[in-house]
């Protein structure tokens, strides 16, 4: 074991009363790579944000080089030698590589002026030293993604980082570049840098990491040397005890195929998806961040430029290049970010509810108030929206009721296929149950429904059939009752070609 | 890929290259069409004519570069010019008039920045308000009268004596050189590109972005003070309500033609200078070939559009991601 450089003990953090972290531990050693894994929402990013000073922690201590520290902001952490490489790079695309590495650094200035020669020379040395093969005089926007990542690593080196956090470092890399990154990581280890490797990809973790920490519901649940554990055990530790929640899912009569997608790709995350949805069926899509599970619905609804595939609605081929086309083909989409994508907050319930059908309610471009009122009354009653009246502004509704308004807006279009992208995000427990029974009722009434969720139990509880996505393709398919949390998560963690062997 | 580009190829792939080439082409075209265009005398006249716009366009360039926008430049110039004229009329020594005008310009420019930063109001809205306020104050204090009858010392600042080496032209060249050096070699200059290129990364780097913004608007205000002085002095009179009323659009045009990115992060002194020269030349050339002056706006707009298209094509070609 190397020398301990950092210890986070009993870290707790709550956001408006909800615990993101309860008792998290993390110990890092010089020259070793620590894997940090956990399900969506287990608290990995919160923990890393606390370590890098972006968030303040409510409880616990951080010991860095034996001293208790309390970083107030990202700069303090960075100056102390703790650097992070986010999934989204923090680079200046319009500046050169050398400038990105040394911007604001006094050591490359002479007499208050930027010494370009010295800066370029030192930057090139650093880039060369970790095997980079590009000129530091190039602008960052002209580099490939993998080379931009190298710039981020060099930036950390130039700032004398002793702890380097890499958040999903391989998610943006092509397969062929992963080994290159690993060589770089081994080089960093040899320099004594302690690395936190945050990832969903167990294969990579078992290849490059020395130790592993599993976070579960804000608690460090498991800690081991990688060599002393197995992928199966890690998966089991991520899930912990199975919690059974009762979902109000009724058995609906499942009919013929309503919608079929063949070879759907969004040119990015979603690689090649083919599936069909039946009348009365709830199809669950599950996958970890970056798997394509949340991106697939967006592509279906025509929100992604460059998405392509073949789509059939009731056996007839349709094209889905824009939301307008999707709506015209009777597809409805409830987006994950209610505030940004779902509602228009400062407007009334009535306005929001009839937004998608307002043209149908018009005679010669004038809204027929009576029909509008009837529609609004109808859906407020059917969906049990709790409000002071239909002229109430949506912003004053609870999260659950806002979501009901969004769903009602789409039901008013009388869709054949309803896509719900994480429909209960940020909704309290009571309202969740109501939304679940609503979804179930809709399926019973014969609607075809596609649902995604970041919560594994929601997918298990609501779906008639589950597709597990990984790397943009379907890695496994389960029928209702066939899957449990462990099998679902295992399928989501394994690369598609390995799942046949099982965990 | 690690080959260093040769100096020559780097010059030809520079962002400013299309605008320089285009400017030379337009110069050539006017020279052929108008016999008096390509004369030493006319070139000095053009140079003299573009100094005010040129100085203001450089300020506009750094404002645009950090992702900002200043609609109030014409009004602030008018206010500074009017104050300068009134101080001169009151018998202040010219050195003091110059100093005070520059201080007023800097302070009011900084005020723009302060309002934007402290109230978290978008630049375009704050400067829309101050555009009216500055102009309104200038009109009020002068009761909309022409300010004129300046002292000889004051008139000397803007005189065209010396041809290409007149004081206004020398001032413009000096400002441009200082700007070019600062943007390339001064750490603060490089920060401007950073703030405009990726604001979030700049914040995470520990840069005090609000302070950068205030300082940029202050520098911009300083230049407007200078331009206000030149305006009053060059024309020998100034009226608050009519001075430099569409300056914000002309200077924005120069900056954008010169390769500044309206979303921030890009802009160059060389490009903006050529943008200013191009617009000034077109204005002068159209008069020389006896074209109707009604064409001026149309052609200016078309040139701006053309320049933006060229920029876009350049970016598309380079941008891999």
CATH number reported for the structural domain that contains residue B82 in this entry: 1.10.3470.10
The tokens of A133 are what?
């093969």
Task: Kindly tell me if the per-residue pLDDT of B189 is higher than 70.
Answer: yes
Neighbouring residues of A465: CB distance < 8 A, sequence distance ≥ 6: A281, A282, A283, A284, A477, A478, A479, A480
Neighbouring residues of B301: CB distance < 8 A, sequence distance ≥ 6: none
d(CA A399, CA B49): 61
- Chain A residue numbers with beta carbons less than 8 Å from the beta carbon of B191 are 103-104
A475: phi then psi, degrees, rounded to nearest 5: -95, -30
d(CA B204, CA A61): 24
Are the C-beta atoms of residues B183 and B269 closer than 8 Å to each other? yes
d(CA B65, CA B59): 10
Are the C-beta atoms of residues A296 and A264 closer than 8 Å to each other? yes
Decide if A135 and B2 are in contact by the 8 Å CB cutoff. Answer: yes
Please provide the DSSP assignment of A61-112 as one string.
EEEETTEEE---SHHHHHHHTEEEE-SS----TTSBHHHHHHTT-GGGEETT
By DSSP bridging, strand A33-37 and strand A194-198 are: parallel
Task: Please name which of B240, B1, B251 lies closest in space to residue B137, comparing C-alpha atoms.
Answer: B240
Residue B134 lies in a domain: yes
Q: Three-state SS for B264?
A: coil
Are the C-beta atoms of residues B104 and B91 closer than 8 Å to each other? no
Q: How far is B195 from chain A (nearest CA, A)?
A: 9
pLDDT over 70, % of chain A: 97
Q: What does the pLDDT read at residue B292?
A: 78
Q: What does the pLDDT read at residue B196?
A: 92
Q: How far is B172 from chain A (nearest CA, A)?
A: 23
Q: How far is A81 from chain B (nearest CA, A)?
A: 13
d(CA A27, CA A25): 7
Task: Kindly tell me if the per-residue pLDDT of B310 is higher than 90.
Answer: no
Neighbouring residues of B169: CB distance < 8 A, sequence distance ≥ 6: B44, B47, B48, B51
Average pLDDT over residues A290-314: 90
- Chain B residue numbers with beta carbons less than 8 Å from the beta carbon of A139 are 318
Point out which residues pair with B238 in neighbouring strands.
Answer: B147
Interface with chain A: mutation pick from B4, B185, B188, B203, highest number of A CBs within 10 Å: B185
Task: Kindly tell me if the per-residue pLDDT of B104 is higher than 70.
Answer: yes
Using 50, 70 and 90 to split pLDDT, how confident is the model at A244?
Answer: low
Q: What does the pLDDT read at residue A240?
A: 79
**Residue whose token pair is 């986070």:** A8
Are the C-beta atoms of residues A263 and A237 closer than 8 Å to each other? no
Task: Please name which of B226, B269, B203, B261 lies closest in space to residue B81, comparing C-alpha atoms.
Answer: B226
Q: What does the pLDDT read at residue A177?
A: 82
Task: Kindly tell me if the per-residue pLDDT of B318 is higher than 60.
Answer: no
Average pLDDT over residues B135-161: 93
Q: Which domains does chain A possess?
A: 257-501 (3.40.50.300)
Higher pLDDT, B239 or B4: B239
- Chain A residue numbers with beta carbons less than 8 Å from the beta carbon of B261 are 94
Pick the most confident of A179-183, A361-365, A498-502.
A179-183
Pick the most confident of A133-142, B131-140, B155-164, B292-301.
B131-140
Residue B17 lies in a domain: no
Using 50, 70 and 90 to split pLDDT, how confident is the model at A497?
Answer: low
Decide if B185 and A133 are in contact by the 8 Å CB cutoff. Answer: no
d(CA A180, CA A69): 34
Q: What does the pLDDT read at residue A243?
A: 57
**Closest alpha carbon within chain A to B263:** A94
Task: Kindly tell me if the per-residue pLDDT of A332 is higher than 90.
Answer: yes
B31-41: buried (b, 16+ CB within 10 Å) or exposed (e) per residue?
A: beebeebeeee
**Under an 8 Å CB criterion, which residues of A touch B?**
73-75, 78, 90-95, 99, 103-104, 109, 112-114, 116, 133-135, 137, 139, 141-145
Task: Kindly tell me if the per-residue pLDDT of A495 is higher than 70.
Answer: no
Q: How do residues A409-467 score in pLDDT, each as one tens digit?
A: 999 999 999 999 988 887 777 778 888 988 999 999 999 999 998 788 889 999 999 99
Decide if B193 and A95 are in contact by the 8 Å CB cutoff. Answer: yes
Q: How do residues A466-484 score in pLDDT, each as one tens digit?
A: 999 988 899 899 999 888 8
How many CB atoms sit inside 10 A of residue A348's CB? 17
What is the rounded radius of gyration, in angstroms, for the C-alpha atoms of chain A? 25
Using 50, 70 and 90 to split pLDDT, how confident is the model at B1?
Answer: very low
Neighbouring residues of A434: CB distance < 8 A, sequence distance ≥ 6: A384, A400, A404
Average pLDDT over residues A52-63: 90
Can you give the length of chain B in residues?
A: 321
Please provide the DSSP assignment of A139-175 as one string.
BGGGS-HHHHHHHHHHHHHHTT-SEEEEESTTTTS-H
Residue B297 lies in a domain: no
- Chain B residue numbers with beta carbons less than 8 Å from the beta carbon of A145 are 321
Q: What does the pLDDT read at residue B195?
A: 92
Decide if A91 and B320 are in contact by the 8 Å CB cutoff. Answer: no
Q: What does the pLDDT read at residue B5?
A: 54
Using 50, 70 and 90 to split pLDDT, how confident is the model at A140?
Answer: very high
Can you give the length of chain A in residues?
A: 503
Residue B319 lies in a domain: no
d(CA A214, CA A234): 7
Residue B20 lies in a domain: no
Task: Tell me how far CA of residue B265 lies from CA of A107, A279, B75, B189, B235, in angstroms.
Answer: 24, 52, 26, 12, 36
- Chain A residue numbers with beta carbons less than 8 Å from the beta carbon of B319 are 141-142
Q: What does the pLDDT read at residue A163?
A: 95
d(CA B256, CA B251): 9
Instruction: Report residue B303 CA to chain centroid gap.
Output: 17
d(CA A338, CA B306): 41
Average pLDDT over residues A6-24: 88
Q: How do residues B74-87 score in pLDDT, each as one tens digit?
A: 999 999 999 999 99
Neighbouring residues of B41: CB distance < 8 A, sequence distance ≥ 6: B163
By DSSP bridging, strand A211-216 and strand A308-313 are: unpaired
Residue B210 lies in a domain: yes
Q: How far is B228 from chain A (nearest CA, A)?
A: 31
Q: What does the pLDDT read at residue B204?
A: 78
Higher pLDDT, B219 or A130: B219
- Nearest CB to B194: which of A92, A139, A144? A92
d(CA A200, CA A494): 9
A406-420: buried (b, 16+ CB within 10 Å) or exposed (e) per residue?
A: bbbbbbbbebbbbbb
The tokens of A186 are what?
């081994």
**Residue whose token pair is 């009761």:** B143
A-B Cβ pairs (cutoff 8 Å, strict): 80
Q: Three-state SS for A249?
A: coil
Task: Kindly tell me if the per-residue pLDDT of A95 is higher than 50.
Answer: yes
Task: Please name which of A295, A304, A228, A211 lies closest in space to residue A472, comparing C-alpha atoms.
Answer: A295
Q: Look up the domain containing B60 and give its range.
A: 37-244
- Chain B residue numbers with beta carbons less than 8 Å from the beta carbon of A112 are 186-187
- Chain A residue numbers with beta carbons less than 8 Å from the beta carbon of B206 are 73-75, 78, 104
Task: Please name which of A284, A254, A238, A289 lies closest in space to residue A423, comparing C-alpha atoms.
Answer: A284
Average pLDDT over residues A184-213: 92
Decide if A99 and B205 are in contact by the 8 Å CB cutoff. Answer: no
The domain total for chain B is 1
- Burial group, residue B185, by CB count within 10 angstroms (0-12, 13-18, 19+): middle
Residue B119 lies in a domain: yes
Are the C-beta atoms of residues A193 and A164 closer than 8 Å to each other? yes
d(CA A488, CA A486): 5
How many CB atoms sit inside 10 A of residue B181's CB? 13
Task: Tell me how far CA of residue B193 lies from CA of A95, A334, B86, B184, in angstroms.
Answer: 7, 39, 38, 10
The tokens of A104 are what?
């604001």
Average pLDDT over residues B56-75: 96
pLDDT over 90, % of chain A: 47
d(CA B305, CA B299): 10
Residue B41 lies in a domain: yes
Q: What pTM was estimated for this model as a whole?
A: 0.80
Q: What does the pLDDT read at residue A242?
A: 59
d(CA A71, CA A76): 6
Mean pLDDT, all residues of chain B: 90
Q: What does the pLDDT read at residue A126?
A: 92
d(CA A490, CA A39): 11
């Amino acid at each position: 074991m190397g020398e301990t450089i950092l210890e986070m003990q009993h870290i707790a953090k709550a956001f408006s009363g909800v615990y993101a972290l309860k008792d998290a531990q993390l110990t890092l050693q010089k020259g070793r790579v620590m894997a940090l894994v956990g399900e969506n929402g287990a608290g990995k990013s919160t923990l890393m944000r606390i370590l890098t000073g972006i968030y303040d922690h409510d409880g616990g201590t951080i010991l860095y080089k034996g001293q208790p520290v309390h970083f107030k902001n990202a700069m303090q952490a960075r100056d102390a030698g703790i650097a992070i490489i986010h999934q989204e790079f923090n680079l200046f695309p319009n500046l050169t590589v050398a400038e990105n590495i040394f911007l604001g650094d006094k050591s490359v200035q002479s007499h208050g002026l930027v010494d370009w020669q010295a800066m370029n020379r030192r930057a090139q040395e650093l880039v060369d030293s970790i095997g980079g093969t590009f000129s530091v005089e190039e602008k960052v926007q002209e580099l490939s993604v993998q080379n931009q990542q190298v710039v981020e690593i060099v930036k950390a080196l130039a700032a004398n980082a002793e702890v380097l956090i890499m958040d999903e470092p391989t998610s943006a890399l092509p397969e062929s570049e992963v080994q290159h990154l690993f060589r770089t990581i081994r080089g960093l280890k040899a320099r004594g840098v302690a690395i936190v490797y945050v990832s969903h990809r167990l294969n990579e973790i078992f290849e490059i990491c020395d130790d592993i920490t599993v976070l579960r519901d804000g608690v460090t649940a498991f800690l081991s040397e990688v060599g002393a554990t197995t992928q199966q055990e890690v998966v089991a530790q991520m899930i912990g005890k199975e919690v059974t929640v009762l979902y109000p899912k009724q058995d609906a009569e499942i009919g013929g195929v309503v919608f079929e997608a063949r070879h759907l790709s969004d040119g990015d995350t979603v690689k090649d998806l083919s599936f069909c949805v039946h009348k009365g069926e709830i199809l669950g899509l599950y996958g970890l961040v970056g798997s394509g599970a949340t991106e697939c619905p967006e592509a279906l609804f025509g929100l992604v430029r460059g998405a392509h595939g073949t789509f059939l609605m009731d056996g007839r081929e349709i094209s889905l290049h824009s939301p307008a086309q999707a709506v015209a083909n009777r597809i409805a989409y409830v987006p994950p970010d209610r505030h940004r994508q779902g509602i228009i907050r400062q407007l009334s319930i009535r306005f929001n509810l009839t937004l998608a059908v307002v043209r149908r309610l018009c005679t010669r471009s004038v809204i027929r108030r009576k029909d509008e009122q009837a529609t609004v009354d109808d859906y407020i009653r059917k969906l049990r929206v709790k409000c002071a009246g239909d002229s109430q502004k949506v912003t004053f509704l609870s999260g659950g009721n806002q979501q009901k308004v969004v769903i009602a807006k789409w039901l008013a279009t009388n869709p054949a296929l309803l896509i719900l992208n994480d429909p209960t995000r940020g909704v309290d427990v009571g309202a969740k149950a109501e939304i679940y029974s609503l979804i179930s009722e809709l399926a019973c009434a014969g609607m075809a429904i596609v649902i995604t969720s970041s919560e594994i139990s929601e997918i298990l509880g609501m779906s008639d059939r589950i597709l597990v996505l990984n790397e943009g393709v379907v890695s496994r398919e389960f029928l209702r009752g066939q899957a449990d949390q462990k099998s679902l998560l295992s399928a989501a963690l394994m690369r598609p070609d390995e799942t046949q062997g099982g965990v | 890929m690690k080959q260093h580009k040769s100096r020559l190829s780097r010059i030809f792939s520079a962002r400013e290259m299309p605008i320089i080439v285009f400017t030379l082409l337009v110069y050539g075209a006017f020279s052929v069409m108008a016999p008096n265009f390509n004369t030493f005398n006319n070139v000095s006249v053009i140079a003299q004519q573009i100094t005010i716009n040129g100085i203001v366009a450089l300020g506009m360039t750094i404002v645009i570069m950090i992702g900002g926008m200043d609609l109030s430049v014409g009004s602030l110039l008018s206010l500074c010019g009017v104050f300068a004229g009134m101080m001169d009329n009151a018998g202040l020594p010219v050195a003091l008039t110059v100093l005070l005008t520059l201080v007023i310009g800097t302070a009011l420019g900084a005020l723009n920045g302060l309002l934007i930063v402290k109230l978290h109001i978008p630049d375009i809205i704050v400067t829309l308000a101050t555009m009216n306020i500055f102009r309104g104050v200038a009109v009020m204090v002068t009761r909309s009268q022409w300010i004129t009858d300046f002292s000889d010392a004051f008139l000397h600042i803007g005189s065209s004596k010396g041809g290409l080496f007149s004081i206004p032209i020398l001032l413009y060249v000096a400002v441009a050189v200082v700007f070019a050096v600062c943007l390339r070699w001064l750490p603060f200059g490089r920060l401007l590109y950073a703030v405009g290129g990726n604001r979030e990364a700049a914040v995470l780097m520990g840069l005090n972005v609000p302070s950068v913004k205030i300082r940029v608007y202050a520098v911009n205000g300083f230049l407007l003070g200078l331009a206000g002085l030149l305006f009053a002095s060059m024309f020998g009179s100034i009226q608050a309500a009519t001075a430099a009323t569409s300056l914000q659009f002309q200077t924005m045009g120069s900056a954008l033609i010169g390769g500044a990115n309206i979303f921030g992060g890009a802009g160059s002194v060389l490009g903006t200078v050529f943008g200013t020269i191009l617009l000034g030349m077109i204005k002068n050339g159209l008069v020389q070939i006896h074209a109707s002056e009604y064409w001026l706006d149309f052609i200016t707009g078309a040139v701006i559009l053309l320049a933006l298209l060229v920029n876009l094509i350049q970016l598309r070609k380079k941008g891999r991601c």
